[in-house]
Amino acid sequence: MFIVNQTTGKHVSKQDQLLELLADGGVHSGEALAARLGVSRAAVWKQLQRLGELGLEISARHGQGYRLSKPLELLDVDLLRARLGDELCRHIAAVEIYRSIDSTNRYLMEVPPDSLATPGRLCLAEHQSAGRGRRGRRWQSPFGASIYLSLRWQFAETPAQLPALALAAGVAVAQVLEAVGLEAVGLKWPNDLYWQGRKLGGILLEMRGEAGGASEVVIGLGLNVSMPDSAGREIDQLWVDLDQALGPARPHRAELAADLAGALCRVALRFSREGFAAFIADYEQRDILAGHEVRLEQSGRILQGTALGIDADGALRLQVDGEARRVVSGDVSLRRMP
């Protein structure tokens, strides 16, 4: 059964009502907002301050009112259901959309398992207070600015190449972006999406289970869509968002989130049947490391060598001092970005 949970409950909070009013990016007077919400102007001001704590940039125009620096494209659960379609929905136990959550991945790792008859569960959020990247790094997650999406999938039998699911998911995300007009999306092993030498997004794969037995995996996706300058200054590497990459041609955030959710579900279904072999050729076409000099940090040790691509299990092949090595984990950086 497909269960939809917008997580705002039957009672719509004043903060949610205020968000809906401001979402158009227009100027709204404090008096008009107070009247619409049925509260005092002082109460409106307090709610505006709380929205600012979520990473929303709100400007006040003397004698006119308040406006968001950019219009909001809020996630829409009905749109998500429609774009997933009936076939995929049969595999999904629940979809949950949160206004704010600490981490979509953490949430799905802690929710009790669903029936294997409906192996998928989706969680999306407008904002994450503790978004996570690999190795515990923080993922900047300002409100409504990017896509924060996690899919939990349960396997009756653990696929032999399960860690390579992160690479397969990267292929799926790249294909969705290419379909909306973004050319030359690159994949950097093991989990990053790049465009023109800058990081566009990342995938976090978390697993639990036993070899040969049942297992579950959470695929987390963070994708930069319309990053505010204030949040962008907190990112410690070169980055890009879809606003910069696609300009006015960028698709609506809610539509894109729905299409990405569907793509990840289809990847999980196909991976359970065919393994990583079904995705390796598509990954290799987008591999930005292969043939380039790289620096690998692994367990406090630094290696430098030439990336030789990936093997059939999704491990990185690295040539160091004339010797080919197989790498299954570590942080890799290009010594010179292509």
Helix (H) or strand (E) holding 116: none
User: Which of 46, 137, 208, 335 is an active site residue?
Assistant: 335
Active site residue 295: no
The verdict on whether 46 is a catalytic residue reads no
Collect all residues with Cβ–Cβ distance below 8 Å to 68 and sequence separation of at least 6.
Answer: 22, 23, 25, 56, 57, 58
From the candidates 36, 134, 198, 295, give the one annotated as an active-site residue. Answer: 134
Q: Which residues pair with 224 in a beta bridge?
A: 146
**Is 70 known to be catalytic?**
no
Return the structure tokens found at 320: 């160091």
Q: Which of 190, 9, 203 is nearest to 96 (CA)?
A: 9
For residue 149, give every residue at least 6 positions away whose Cβ sits within 8 Å of its Cβ, in sequence order, or none.
104, 122, 123, 124, 220, 221, 223, 257, 260, 261, 264
Is the four-CA dihedral 99, 245, 236, 229 of positive or negative sign?
Answer: negative
- Rounded to the nearest 10 degrees, the angle between the axes of helix 41-53 and helix 30-37 is 100
Backbone angles phi, psi at 216, to 5 degrees: -140, 150
Distance CA 252, CA 320 (A): 45
Q: Which of these is catalytic: 83, 106, 188, 199?
A: 199
For residue 126, give the amino acid letter: E
Active site residues: 134, 199, 335
